[in-house]
Structure 1
């Protein structure tokens, strides 16, 4: 059995995720299928004897989306020989944990033009209704032409909405794009009918502005949504950045060479100087030092390191130079396993998401049915075709920005990511959801809970002592300036910024 993770492109809503999940669930050998719409990930357990990654990708493609395998993990029939491990370009072997990248500049430019055009289109269509009046020429018979011209850049920026929406509608798996495409297209077609076959005796009202504003606002909403996703993934990026980019390799002649951390192999001898981070997990061979391992253990007290001691990659070497031998690199390090744990937790399905997933499967069909009933009810009641269309469009538009399936995954990513940033590892979505019911927390710790940073709080002075307070502070500051040894090195307090160090003497 293997645990497969795919990147999915083209999904925009919970209905998209439900369609992909349903298609993959039908494959023989696929279990525990979950599509995380917030991370655009498909995660499943596959029986290697029955199901292959290309078959999964084909199933996703049949739904109109693209799937790329980014991670495969599972039980191995034979142990791995450490000498055969290849150097890793990143702390993990793929882009699985990378936050979503920024959009293409041309897309950003098109969206900006579309938003500007939508504002002008709205004013051109409804300037007579505004309380404030801006200078605006009387377009007369060219009013409709101006609206169409302003609508074109909006349709160009939102062309993917129409392509995806109608494609999914033809496949009988409509999504939010389908609602937007149907609503905007109906408004445009009805306006064109009124333009070329105007009703007698009635003043025509075109709906090009409604279609343009629908598309422009959806594009803006998706931009804000994508930005939220990138921000939600920043915690994993911060964990990845803990790993040093370079390392000092020591060869057989004890000569040092600066190399990229990606070139480290198992059993390489590495030299780590004070203030540097350990580039890999390993064992100390020469030298003595202390290490700040609070990023792993949460304990602020430095840990003594001597020959034979184990060191953890990304921990900080404080006050001595050591030579270590790498034992774990790349995805096998402690930090990489922590990052993978956080990523897997963010991709897990909390119990509350199951309800949203069930609703999402029927949401779009329900909205389409309600919009159709609304249109028929108003039209057949004698209110007229235009009134019926206007109310049906309102139903479609209100349902378009569906946060139903997105809210839970985004909350999960943010919650687990924030926990990781504070040193709290949450192993799964269900665990995070269960934590919301906690009433009491009991800490098993001797003494008091601290911030992990020693701070100066005060200095009792003898009235008849040989030194004044200022002189004593100057001597302490002089010693502290030349030391990394805790608690002097990290100490901070009200006098640390105002005391000028004196000259240190024996």
Structure 2
């Protein structure tokens, strides 16, 4: 019996407009989920929806579904390199808002301030002041609040209610009641005086008007959203700074001549010029010249990195020294800078567990508030209270309730944290990774390329007497290792290129095979060449050389030709300077380091001893590493795996958290949840501390958001909250949440910070 394979799932990003609160987020997600096989995650802060859907559901259907819910939707423009800076520039203008939004806020303030002053200061209430207030309040209640009315009406057409519904009803009720009191209730009499109180009072009966609430609600909500938009824009500053690193033009060297072309016309293989002080246009390899490049904005590396012919350079780096000629190795969306930006953007689309709970609450929040408002109105009137007091309590309930803070609690903190992490050289794929980072208690570390530099070199070649000889064995081994991504293989190839006499090109290899954790083999010039870990059956000369290599913590590989051992190649590596500090810091954070490597016991224990790592697992295959991770998790530990090679990919994927070195292979980076961009394990401590600070900020935001509504809504229900002050409190609640999140932008890791629990 055969089963049909699961259909592929596509991912489409949508730009969603018209969302103003967490209830809107919930509504868009539910509407999209009604399509067969579709699930969506909507981010209020970025105004984007990440939709997973089967191939038979087209992006146009997704857009139509969002529009049916009463919002606008569009597919984002293709990410063209030439437009990166343009989008960044546009983004920089957003904090100021559009001219219409600024004008609406300014005009609202000019019209509202006289109404607020006259309503709150009885000594300034001249004859017929209330009629002037009505004239000033009318355009505020209609024109200033028009966006709220339109969105509320749109929601009504789609049988939905949002924050705009509450604001619209609150403004309409306040203004309508005041107009009724002025025209029919005696409040329009010349010489009428109205005292102001922080608490609503029915002592004046129908003579009391609430025009200050009718203008105060739009004024405070518009002001709050304007400031909130600016603050939310600030949380994405780090991401925009990355976008600003993209070049717009590049100087290409062709046939000894130089010409400038738009960056989108640059292709892989072309050579371009980087002068002192200029940014490297795209990822490439230096072909001529030497200099120091500043990678601080890309990897967080504070010191300039020396580069020369053969060195790799990343697009966006600043040339701090001499003239460089660079051959492009990646362009457009394939560059390191583009990948970093993409990973940060994807991370900001996710949701923490706490936010999913908040969104669920927000989804029913507005209908519940509307029900409470109607209930309060009916209860007060049924209890024989003055109609003014009943309407005041009803309006206060409508205005004070605020799901906005719930919707902003996580995305603003997440945006600020992921952007700050990118500046520090830590790329986090999403909130789930942050949650896993916070609770880690064990980290499994690979040796080569993680704790050690990975920039190995051949220390010694020991050949079997009477065999092919050291140079020939090295030549054949280098030919086979040329197809390997492992640092050992790269070291052998580089050493052969520097030291073989004549430096003839390495021969071609056929039937190349790399076995993760074991070695490589292939056919060279008709002979089967194997480069593998040494076994127990070695010729005497090689067996005698092995203990000395192990004592020096060198890694040895055996070269066999047609099944016959020919040479032992010793490759030496050094422990990264930052590894000592990193391992010690992890311990102080309450995280136990474990070393797991495919290398032999002696070099593994030599490195572990130097770093004071007690638990060591040597000669581990990828399957063994995955089994080790599984066993540790079964013991109840929360496990992270740090690695940089293909042989780490399975363990990375099976851990609670996978962490890849930025200098590692694509397979490792693809399987990881966190990438340490500058390839420095010391950044892992920064990642843990940032995760703990971020989730602490999210919890504080949610406590405030839930607590605010839990306190203010009951106060409004019992008539102890003036509607105007309710509007101010509602706006302030959102600003406090966003402001708290903004503090993450200035977060700095403290190496001496101790673990506190």
Residue matched to 2:48? 41
Residue matched to 2:239? 236
Residue matched to 2:60? 54
Question: Shift of the alpha carbon at 1:285?
Answer: 2.7
Q: Are 2:199 and 1:212 equivalent residues in the alignment? A: no
Q: Are 2:143 and 1:139 equivalent residues in the alignment? A: no
Residues 352-391 of structure 1: pairs in structure 2 closer than 5 A: 352-391=354-393
Residue matched to 2:102? 108
For 2:51 and 2:154, how far apart are their aligned partners in 1? 26
SS in 1 for 2:322: coil
Q: Are 2:14 and 1:21 equivalent residues in the alignment? A: no
Question: Shift of the alpha carbon at 1:304?
Answer: 4.5
Residue matched to 2:419? 417
For 1:158 and 1:326, how far apart are their aligned partners in 2? 54
Aligned partners of 1:248 and 1:259 also within 8 Å:
yes
Q: Describe the superposition over 1:157-203 as per-residue Cα deviations: whole angstroms up to 9, x where unpaired.
A: 22110111132134221000001111111122222222232269955
For 1:215 and 1:144, how far apart are their aligned partners in 2? 20
Number of equivalenced pairs: 427
SS in 1 for 2:41: strand
After TM superposition, the score normalised by the length of structure 2 is: 0.53
Residue matched to 1:319? 321
For 1:359 and 1:413, how far apart are their aligned partners in 2? 22
Residues 177-326 of structure 1: pairs in structure 2 closer than 5 A: 177-198=164-185, 204-252=207-255, 254-300=256-302, 302-326=304-328
SS in 2 for 1:206: coil
**What is the RMSD of the two structures over their aligned residues, measured on CA atoms?**
3.0
SS in 2 for 1:244: coil
For 1:94 and 1:122, how far apart are their aligned partners in 2? 41
Give the greater-gyration-radius structure (CA).
2
SS in 2 for 1:382: coil
Aligned partners of 2:301 and 2:425 also within 8 Å:
no
For 2:438 and 2:114, how far apart are their aligned partners in 1? 47
Residue matched to 1:68? 74
Question: Shift of the alpha carbon at 1:299?
Answer: 4.5
- Structure 1 residues not aligned, in runs of 5+: 74-86, 451-506
The counterpart of 2:12, out of the listed 4, 28, 39, is: 4
Judged with a 3 Å threshold, the aligned counterparts in structure 2 of structure 1 residues 258 and 371 are, in CA distance, closer, same or farther, namely same
SS in 2 for 1:11: coil
Aligned partners of 2:286 and 2:326 also within 8 Å:
yes
Residue matched to 2:577? 446
Question: Shift of the alpha carbon at 1:410?
Answer: 0.8
Judged with a 3 Å threshold, the aligned counterparts in structure 2 of structure 1 residues 47 and 92 are, in CA distance, closer, same or farther, namely farther
The 10-residue stretch of structure 1 (146-155 or 91-100) with the greater mean CA deviation from structure 2: 91-100
Aligned partners of 1:283 and 1:327 also within 8 Å:
yes
For 2:206 and 2:341, how far apart are their aligned partners in 1? 63
The counterpart of 1:171, out of the listed 151, 155, 158, is: 158
For 2:24 and 2:132, how far apart are their aligned partners in 1? 36
- Structure 2 residues not aligned, in runs of 5+: 1-8, 188-203, 452-575, 583-757
For 2:206 and 2:33, how far apart are their aligned partners in 1? 54
After TM superposition, the score normalised by the length of structure 1 is: 0.77
Aligned partners of 1:10 and 1:65 also within 8 Å:
yes
Aligned partners of 2:205 and 2:388 also within 8 Å:
no
Aligned partners of 1:97 and 1:236 also within 8 Å:
no
Residue matched to 2:496? none
Q: Describe the superposition over 1:458-484 as per-residue Cα deviations: whole angstroms up to 9, x where unpaired.
A: xxxxxxxxxxxxxxxxxxxxxxxxxxx
Judged with a 3 Å threshold, the aligned counterparts in structure 2 of structure 1 residues 298 and 10 are, in CA distance, closer, same or farther, namely closer
Question: Shift of the alpha carbon at 1:334?
Answer: 0.6
For 2:400 and 2:103, how far apart are their aligned partners in 1? 27
Q: Describe the superposition over 1:198-246 as per-residue Cα deviations: whole angstroms up to 9, x where unpaired.
A: 2699551112221111111110110011011110111111111223333
Residue matched to 1:120? 114
Judged with a 3 Å threshold, the aligned counterparts in structure 2 of structure 1 residues 258 and 283 are, in CA distance, closer, same or farther, namely same
The 10-residue stretch of structure 1 (8-17 or 293-302) with the greater mean CA deviation from structure 2: 293-302
